[in-house]
């Protein structure tokens, strides 16, 4: 409630979210004091989820109820994980993730919901894994941003450009990053290196799919992946030779970066590349068979694809 009042007092602009964060932080501290324990991670994720839900729900009539439920569930989950993190690491994660999120917002590569959802993903990666995992996700973001701006005017004329000038919102961030975040949590809790393969496979898929979609669409009339018949540019499930080529390149780049940063061993570069390429084509298949029927939108397709690519990476690593 205190956060809601602070937000309305600020008029709904970006400074209002800062006021909301401060009010939510105060509220979380009071809750922790009432419970006679102060757990920094619980407070941190409670506050971040609170402001993220505010950015998503804005002025919906049921916003307050959903926010309260989401915050309570998040804080309970973090408490149950009982994961210990150094306070210096937590502060560094907040500064890095929010700094990058704000930069993305100022450069119009993310909207407000994209700012906070990206910060949440970044904090999870840094706290539960380490900064190297965040840098790999950052590499995906850079590849995606460059690809989005590739021949943007030409894509506008074709009617297939990324809307809002390429600014990403929470749906795009979560559909491409939630599997990566889950991988980081699993790795942090278990220290099992197989979850690094799950992570790289999902991020490689996200990068490969974004590059295939944004660059491949300029590669001539696509073929439907299920029938190989010609379809208009921008059709879900349509693929081009250029798109498949840059998809493989994108997956390879992410995998090489992961190797150079020491997140995966050299043999896993092949694993990540293959997983990313497979994940991209899972995206095309889901788009052709399910998304075109209106079962779910592009975000749902991306989520299935990154999950598929991540699982492929995990299975290939197990077989290797």
Give tens-digit pLDDT for 167-195: 788 999 999 999 999 999 999 999 999 99
More confident residue, 59 or 93: 93
CB atoms within 10 A of CB 65: 11
- Answer whether 0.75 is exceeded by the pTM: yes
Q: What is the mean pLDDT of residues 277-291?
A: 94
The pLDDT mean for the chain works out to 88
Least confident of 35-39, 108-112, 305-309: 35-39
Q: Which residues of 183-210 are buried (b: 16+ CB within 10 A; e: fewer)?
A: bbbbbbeeeeebbbbbbbbbbbbbbbbb
Does the structure show a pLDDT above 80 at 9? no
**Residue 85 is encoded by which pair of tokens?**
């993190």
CB atoms within 10 A of CB 81: 15
Least confident of 48-62, 96-110, 124-138: 48-62
Does the structure show a pLDDT above 70 at 82? yes
More confident residue, 128 or 164: 128
pLDDT in tens, 205-236: 999 999 998 888 887 788 899 888 998 877 88
Beta bridge partners of 239: 223
Q: What is the mean pLDDT of residues 78-87?
A: 90
Query: What pLDDT is attached to residue 158?
Result: 65
More confident residue, 121 or 60: 121
* Domain coordinates in residue numbering, the chain: 130-319
More confident residue, 300 or 8: 300
Does the structure show a pLDDT above 60 at 159? yes
Does the structure show a pLDDT above 90 at 281? yes
């Amino acid at each position: 409630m205190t956060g809601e009042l602070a937000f309305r007092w600020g008029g709904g602009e970006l400074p209002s979210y800062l006021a909301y964060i401060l009010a939510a932080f105060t509220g979380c501290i009071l809750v922790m004091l009432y419970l006679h324990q102060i757990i920094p991670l619980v407070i941190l994720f409670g506050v971040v989820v609170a402001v993220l839900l505010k950015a998503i729900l804005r002025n919906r009539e049921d916003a307050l109820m959903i926010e309260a439920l989401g915050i309570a569930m998040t804080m309970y989950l973090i408490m149950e994980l009982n994961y210990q993190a150094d306070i210096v690491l937590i502060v560094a994660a907040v500064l890095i993730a929010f700094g990058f999120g704000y930069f993305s917002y100022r450069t119009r590569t993310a909207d407000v919901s994209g700012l906070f959802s990206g910060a949440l993903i970044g904090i999870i990666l840094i706290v539960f894994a380490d900064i190297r995992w965040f840098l790999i996700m950052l590499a995906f973001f850079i590849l995606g941003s460059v690809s989005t701006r590739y021949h943007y005017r030409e894509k506008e004329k074709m009617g297939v450009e990324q809307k809002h000038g390429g600014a990403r919102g929470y749906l795009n961030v979560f559909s491409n990053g939630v599997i990566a975040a889950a991988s980081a949590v699993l790795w942090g809790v278990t220290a099992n290196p197989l979850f690094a393969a799950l992570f790289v496979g999902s991020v490689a898929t996200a990068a490969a799919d974004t590059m295939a979609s944004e660059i491949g669409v300029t590669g001539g009339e696509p073929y439907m992946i299920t029938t190989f018949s010609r379809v208009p540019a921008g059709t879900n499930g349509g693929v081009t030779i250029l798109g498949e080529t840059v998809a493989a390149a994108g997956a390879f780049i992410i995998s090489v970066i992961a190797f150079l940063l020491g997140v995966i061993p050299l043999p896993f570069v092949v694993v990540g590349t293959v997983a990313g390429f497979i994940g991209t084509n899972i995206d095309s298949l889901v788009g052709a068979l399910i998304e075109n029927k209106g079962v779910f939108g592009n975000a749902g397709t991306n989520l299935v694809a990154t999950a598929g690519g991540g699982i492929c990476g995990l299975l290939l690593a197990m077989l290797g």
